[in-house]
Amino acid sequence: MYEYKFIDIPLKKSKKALIVTEADYQELIRSHAAEGWRLVQIFAPMGDGLLIADHYQIILERSGS
């Protein structure tokens, strides 16, 4: 059986776009990997009534105990 974790990473607003920096997600993935988590997917769900995503969702899994 697997255990799953879902982590939301909000996008930051710039003058022309919503952005997320590599530092926002790379260190988070590395630190969770050191705890036995495996990256499954990075997903960008649509925001509330918006046609664009307002955050990324990182999906991680690891074997349950």
12-47 residue pLDDT tens: 666 665 556 666 688 889 999 999 999 999 988 876
| Domain range list for the chain | 2-63
* Separation of alpha carbons 38 and 17, rounded Å: 30
Statement: residue 49 has pLDDT above 60: yes
Q: How far is CA 50 from CA 4, 8, 64, in A?
A: 27, 17, 36
Give the pLDDT confidence score for residue 64 in this predicted structure: 84
Average pLDDT, integer, range 47-51: 68
